[in-house]
């Protein structure tokens, strides 16, 4: 299959593109409520929820924020989710080649 981000040919069952390090086919590959490391704003709680339920992360953040302001539920549940939700495991550091270290 092809990577949606860089267009390179990658392994058929790959979860992560070996070239650009982006997640591919993540929805099928993992159905665990975790806090992703990339793209998080505070602790990645909203992002994790959005990925888990296949929702728009902006929508989740908006609902969570509204819930916090209007009812206080979001304000209370965020730190709880932060503690309860495990951090996304570190995958192979494929995009290390991008960090060019020229003397």
Q: Which one among 14, 15, 19, 82 touches Zn ion, defined by CB under 5 A? A: 19
Which listed range, 14-22, 53-61, 73-81, 89-97, lies at the site for Zn ion (CB under 5 A)?
A: 14-22
Three-state SS at 69: helix
C-alpha distances in angstroms, 5 versus 1, 2, 68? 12, 9, 34
Under DSSP, the state recorded for 94 is G
Number of residues that bind Zn ion (CB under 5 A): 6
CB of 15 to Zn ion, least distance (A): 12
Which listed range, 9-17, 69-77, 78-86, 87-95, lies at the site for Zn ion (CB under 5 A)?
A: 9-17
CB of 21 to Zn ion, least distance (A): 7
Neighbours of 16 (CB within 10 A): 20
Residue whose token pair is 């979860």: 15
């Amino acid at each position: 299959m092809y990577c949606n981000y860089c267009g390179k040919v990658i392994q058929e069952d790959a979860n992560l593109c070996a070239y650009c390090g982006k997640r591919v086919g993540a929805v099928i590959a993992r159905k665990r409520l975790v806090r992703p490391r990339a793209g998080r704003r505070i602790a990645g709680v909203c992002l994790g929820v959005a990925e888990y339920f296949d929702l728009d992360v902006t929508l989740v953040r908006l609902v969570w924020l509204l819930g916090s302001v209007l009812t206080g539920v979001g304000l209370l549940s965020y730190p709880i989710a932060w503690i309860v939700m495990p951090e996304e495991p570190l995958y192979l550091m494929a995009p290390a080649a991008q960090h060019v270290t020229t003397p």
